[in-house]
Chains A and B, each alone.
Chain A
């Protein structure tokens, strides 16, 4: 139990995927202008990340490892994620149009979201079992959504402020992200179990 708790706390706060591991920066900068779209993106990423981690973990341990094809990891994983996102889009459109309306625009963007592929590769590198992997995926996605929501809140305020012209847009956003990352550094050193 303590292992799981430790994985959750570490993935959300100590090793936050955006502020400490630099994964998923593109959606972090691109979709964080409004709070509502930040939640949508976060939900879509959570959905895909958990599903993708589950499928890729099984593929790695049941297919690639027994056959000695570990070097095919990158190609297999990216294809699985791309196919999964496509399938998800089709299925959601058919059975849950409301959810599709909410997540639809974000889904195609997720294929090239490095956080999804990153987590799939990281859980294999860290030698997690299936339960730990899924916990890690959920916690990482929660950490990502939290970072995105916090940052969107800040950017909504930023748009009202008089900022020197060359700093407007991405530069000031990056600097704010740096300050947030500094705040998150306060969590480092927390150890459980």
Chain B
């Protein structure tokens, strides 16, 4: 496998932010009440991550090492504000649903973590690819968790009815279901990883 594809593959599987690195737990639990919400949150984070990774990689030689963390935070916060304004303008209902978790992308440990661990050491192109890989890994994890919670809770996936709602257990759409579903998913991931 060539090195560019390897970066994306690492982001999705070996360094999966949700199942392996256990980063960004708040949006993972808070926005996955349905598959579509989870996917939107994943894509929003991925957009910010790609932009911030590339920008940070581009400025890495000008920023003194001592003030790099505040500088990274400002870069990330700028892109989050842009995303906030774009979503308010074009996707107001989705902005309403995801609510507080959109501005909170700023404090998502995935973004600062990748800036420090990857973007500050690699080229702009590689950092962008890492953003795509990690972003995809995050989006896949959130969509999967959202789909499982939606299926067990209401009997649907992406609003397509799989079984009647009466057989669903509503607790999986509510707060406790998020913790329990994610706990079992990480356990299953561990099981296959260690085999």
**Contact indicator B26/A22 (Cβ below 8 Å):** yes
Q: Name the residue of chain A whose CB is nearest to the CB of B77.
A: A75
B170 to chain A minimum Cβ distance, whole angstroms, is 11
Complex partner residue of A178 from B69, B81, B180, B194, CB under 8 angstroms: B180
Q: Does A84 touch B at the CB level, under 8 Å?
A: no
CB of B100 within 8 A of CB of A125, answer yes
- Chain B at the A interface: mostly helix, strand, loop or mixed? helix
Q: Which residue of A lies closest to B181 (CB)?
A: A178
Known: A112-B109, A178-B183. A24 touches B191 (CB 8 A): no
- If A112-B107, A174-B183, A174-B186 touch, whether A74 touches B176 (CB-CB below 8 Å) is no
Point out the residues of chain B lying under 8 angstroms from A122, CB to CB.
100
Chain B 88-116 per-residue mask, 1 if CB under 8 angstroms from chain A, else 0: 00000000000010011011110010000
Measured between beta carbons, the chain B residues less than 8 angstroms from A121 are 100, 103-104
B125 at interface (Cβ–Cβ under 8 A)? Answer: no
For A88, what are the chain B residues with a Cβ–Cβ distance below 8 Å?
A: none
Q: How far is the CB of A18 from chain B (nearest CB, A)?
A: 10
B102 nearest CB neighbor, chain A only: A74
Q: When each residue 153-195 of chain B gets 1 if its CB lies under 8 Å from chain A and 0 otherwise, what string results?
A: 0000000000000000001001111111011101110110010
Query: Which B-chain residue is minimally distant from A120 (CB atoms)?
Result: B103
Docked complex: A66-91 residues within 8 A CB-CB of B: 71-75, 78-79, 82
Q: A26-B25, A73-B103, A117-B103 are in contact. Are A166 and B175 (CB under 8 A)?
A: no
User: A25 touching B183 by the CB < 8 A rule?
Assistant: no
One of A71, A112, A175, A182 near B171 (C-beta < 8 A)? A182
Residue A23 is within 8 A (CB to CB) of chain B in the complex: yes
- The reply to whether the CB of B80 lies closer than 8 angstroms to some CB of chain A is yes
Which residues of chain A come closer than 8 Å to B175, judged between CB atoms?
A: 19-20, 22, 181, 184-185
Looking at chain A's contact residues, the main secondary structure is helix
- Which residue on A lies nearest to B108, using beta carbons? A114
On chain B, the residues within 8 Å of A19 by CB distance are 175-176
Q: Which residues of B contact A182 (CB under 8 A)?
A: 171, 176
Knowing A21-B30, A73-B103, A75-B78 touch, does A185 contact B174 (C-beta < 8 A)?
yes
Is B74 in contact with A26, judged by CB distance below 8 angstroms? no
A174-B183, A174-B186, A178-B180 known; A74+B106 contact, CB < 8 A:
yes
Query: What mask results when residues 13 to 56 of chain B are scored 1 for a CB within 8 Å of chain A, else 0?
Result: 00000000011011001100000000000000000000000000
Q: How far is the CB of A121 from chain B (nearest CB, A)?
A: 6
Measured CB to CB, the residues of A under 8 A from B are 19-26, 29, 71-75, 78-79, 82, 111-114, 117-118, 121-122, 125, 164-167, 170-175, 177-179, 181-182, 184-185
